[in-house]
C-alpha cells in the first residue's frame, strides 16, 4: 500500500463530527465526511492542478476501492493537461443533449403511433364496429342479437354505417334519435340511444376510439321522461274486442294468440317461440322452457278451458310440426314483433295501401292497447276476483324478490290430486 493510503479499518472508523472534513487517501484522493447535523454521509473527491490552479472533482464512486480506480483514471488525464472541471461540464452538456435527443425520438415515436392509430381508426367503420360488437357481446343474448340487429339495420346503420368510428360526433347520434322522435316512437329513441352507447363504450374499451360520442347526450332529454304504461282493458272492452276480431282480417293464429295472452298472462315473446311439444292437451298444461322465459326459469301454465280451446283451434290449422307460430319458411318461429305488429296495424290512423280498410278494426273505447296490456289486464282481473297477490305473481312468472321465499317456498300452486288424509 502506498504511503498515506487509508487502511480498511481506518476507513471504517471514520466518523462524522460537528463539521465537514476531508481525509486524504493519497494521490489527490480525499474522503469527504459530511457534518453529523446533515446526515454524516461519505463521498469521494479528487484534487488536481491545472496551470497552477487547484481543481476539485466529486467522484461517482460509492466505495473506497471504486474511488481509487476512478481517481487513477482522472490522474492520468490530469497529467495529460486536461481541464477536468471543463471536461465534467462538457460531459453534463453531452448527457443533457442525449436526454433531449431521446425525448425528441420518443415524441416522434408517439406521434407516429398516433398517426397509425388515426389511420387504423379511419379504416374501421361503424358497420365494422357493429359486427365486432355483435360477434363479441350480442351473441350472448337470448336471441343471439337478432332484434338489436334488426333495429340497427333499420335506424342506425343507414346513417352511421359508412362513417369511420373516429368521425362520429354527437350530431350524428341525435340525427338518429330525432328521426325516431318525429315518428312518435319515443321509447324506441331511448332504447336506440342506450344500445348505441353500449356499442361505442365497447369501442372505447378496445382503444378503437378515445371518447364515446354519446357520453354528453342525456337519455332524459330524448323524448322526455318515460311514462309507465298502465293500460288495462275493461270487461266491456274485452267483449268489444271479441266482437271486432272476426272483421279485423287477422291471421287466425293471431286471433288465438290474443285469447292465449289474455287467459295465461304470458308474454308475447314466449308465445311466439312456443313449440307443440310443450303443450300437453291431456294434462291441460303449457310448459315454457327457461330459454324462452324472461327470467330464464321454466314456467308451467295450467290452462283454463278457454285457454285450452285456443290451443285446440290452433291445432286445426297446424302449419308446422315444431312451432305453434311458424314464420313463412316454416323452419323457425315468427319474429317476436309479428303478433304485436298485426295488432298495432289495426289501431292506426296511418293509411296503408293494402290494409287501409282494417286500420282501425281493433280500436277500443279506452284507447290503443298492446299485447303486453293483455298480460296486465289478466293480472288485474285476477286481483279483482280476490286472488292472492302471490298466486298472481306465480302466474306472471315474476322472479320472487324475497330471497327467503325463493329458498323455502317451492310450491307449484296447482290443484292437489289427493286430500290431506293421504298423508296419514
Give mean pLDDT, residues 246-261: 93
Q: Please state, in angstroms and rounded to a whole number, the distance separating the CA atoms of residues 157 and 172.
A: 11
Q: What is the DSSP letter of 326?
A: B
Question: Is the pLDDT score of 18 beyond 80?
Answer: yes
Q: Residue 94's pLDDT is what?
A: 81
Please give the distance of CA 287 from its chain centroid, rounded to a whole number: 33
Q: Largest Cα–Cα distance of the chain, in whole Å?
A: 125
- CATH number for the 126-221 domain, one of 2.40.420.20, 3.40.50.2000, 3.40.190.10, 1.10.150.130? 1.10.150.130
Ramachandran sector of residue 414 (left: φ over 0; alpha: ψ -120 to 50; beta: rest):
beta
- Give one DSSP letter per residue of 348-399, joined into a string: -SS--TTTGGGTTTT--TT----HHHHHHHHHHHHHHTT--HHHHHHHHTPP
pTM: 0.55
| 140-159: pLDDT as tens digits | 887 889 989 999 999 999 99
Beta strands in 105-182 (DSSP E): none
Ramachandran sector of residue 370 (left: φ over 0; alpha: ψ -120 to 50; beta: rest):
beta
Angle, in degrees to the nearest 10, between helices 84-123 and 64-79 = 110
Exposure b/e, 189-202, CB count within 10 A at least 16 = b: bbbbbebbbebbeb
Question: Is the pLDDT score of 291 beyond 70?
Answer: yes
Q: What is the sign, positive or negative, of the torsion defined by CA atoms of 314, 316, 318, 323?
A: positive
Q: Residue 155's pLDDT is what?
A: 95
Q: Residue 424's pLDDT is what?
A: 26
Q: Where are the domains of the chain?
A: 8-82, 126-221, 235-423
Query: Which is the CATH superfamily of the domain at 8-82?
Result: Integrase, DNA-binding domain (3.30.160.390)
Q: Look at 20-24, 91-95, 104-108, 169-173 and tell me which has the smallest mean pLDDT.
A: 91-95
Question: Is the pLDDT score of 418 beyond 50?
Answer: no
Question: Is the pLDDT score of 417 beyond 60?
Answer: no
Confidence band, pLDDT 50/70/90 cuts, at residue 381: very high
Q: Look at 107-111, 132-136, 287-291 and tell me which has the smallest mean pLDDT.
A: 107-111
Q: Which residue has the cell 294434462?
A: 283
Which has the closest alpha carbon to 314: 362, 276, 265? 276
Instruction: Judge residue 217's burial from the number of C-beta atoms within 10 Å of its C-beta, 0-12 exposed, 13-18 middle, 19 or more buried.
Output: middle
Give mean pLDDT, residues 71-94: 74
- CATH number for the 235-423 domain, one of 3.40.50.720, 1.20.1250.20, 3.30.300.130, 1.10.443.10? 1.10.443.10
Q: Residue 208's pLDDT is what?
A: 85
Share of the chain above pLDDT 70, in %: 86
Give mean pLDDT, residues 278-287: 96
Q: Residue 419's pLDDT is what?
A: 36
Q: Look at 228-242, 297-311, 340-354, 406-420 and tell me which has the smallest mean pLDDT.
A: 406-420
Amino acid at each position: 500500500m502506498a504511503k498515506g493510503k487509508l487502511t480498511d479499518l481506518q476507513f471504517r472508523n471514520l466518523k462524522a463530527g460537528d463539521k465537514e472534513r476531508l481525509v486524504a487517501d493519497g494521490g489527490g484522493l480525499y474522503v469527504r465526511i459530511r457534518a453529523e447535523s446533515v446526515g454524516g454521509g461519505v463521498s469521494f473527491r479528487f484534487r488536481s492542478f491545472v496551470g497552477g490552479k487547484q481543481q476539485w472533482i466529486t467522484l461517482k464512486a460509492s466505495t473506497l476501492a471504486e474511488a481509487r480506480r476512478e481517481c487513477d483514471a482522472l490522474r492520468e488525464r490530469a497529467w495529460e493537461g486536461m481541464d477536468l472541471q471543463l471536461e465534467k461540464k462538457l460531459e453534463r452538456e453531452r448527457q443533457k443533449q442525449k436526454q433531449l435527443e431521446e425525448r425528441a425520438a420518443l415524441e416522434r415515436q408517439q406521434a407516429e403511433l398516433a398517426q397509425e392509430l388515426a389511420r387504423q381508426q379511419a379504416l374501421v367503420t361503424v358497420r365494422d364496429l357493429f359486427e365486432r360488437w355483435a360477434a363479441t357481446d350480442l351473441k350472448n343474448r337470448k336471441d343471439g342479437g337478432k332484434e338489436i340487429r334488426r333495429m340497427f339495420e333499420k335506424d342506425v346503420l343507414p346513417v352511421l354505417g359508412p362513417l369511420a368510428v373516429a368521425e362520429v360526433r354527437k350530431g350524428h347520434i341525435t340525427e338518429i334519435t330525432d328521426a325516431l322522435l318525429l315518428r312518435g316512437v319515443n321509447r324506441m329513441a331511448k332504447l336506440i340511444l342506450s344500445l348505441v352507447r353500449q356499442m361505442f363504450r365497447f369501442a372505447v374499451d378496445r382503444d378503437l376510439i378515445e371518447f364515446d360520442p354519446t357520453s354528453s347526450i342525456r337519455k332524459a332529454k330524448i323524448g322526455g321522461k318515460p311514462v309507465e304504461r298502465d293500460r288495462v282493458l275493461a270487461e266491456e272492452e274485452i267483449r268489444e274486442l271479441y266482437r271486432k276480431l272476426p272483421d279485423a282480417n287477422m291471421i287466425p293464429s293471431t286471433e288465438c294468440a290474443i285469447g292465449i295472452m289474455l287467459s295465461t298472462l304470458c308474454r308475447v315473446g314466449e308465445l311466439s317461440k312456443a313449440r307443440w311439444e310443450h303443450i300437453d292437451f291431456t294434462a291441460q298444461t303449457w310448459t315454457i322452457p327457461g330459454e324462452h322465459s324472461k327470467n330464464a326459469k321454466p314456467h308451467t301454465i295450467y290452462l283454463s278451458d278457454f285457454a285450452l280451446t285456443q290451443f285446440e283451434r290452433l291445432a286445426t290449422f297446424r302449419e308446422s310440426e315444431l312451432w305453434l307460430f311458424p314464420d313463412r319458411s316454416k323452419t323457425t318461429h315468427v319474429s317476436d314483433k309479428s303478433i304485436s305488429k298485426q295488432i298495432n296495424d289495426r289501431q292506426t290512423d296511418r293509411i296503408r295501401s293494402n290494409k287501409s280498410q282494417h286500420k282501425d278494426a281493433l280500436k277500443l273505447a279506452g284507447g290503443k292497447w298492446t299485447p303486453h296490456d293483455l298480460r296486465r289486464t289478466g293480472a288485474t282481473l285476477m286481483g279483482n276476483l280476490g286472488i292472492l297477490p302471490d298466486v298472481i305473481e306465480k302466474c306472471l312468472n315474476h322472479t320472487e324478490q324475497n330471497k327467503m321465499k325463493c329458498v323455502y317456498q317451492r310450491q307449484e300452486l296447482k290443484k292437489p290430486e289427493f286430500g290431506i288424509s293421504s298423508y296419514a
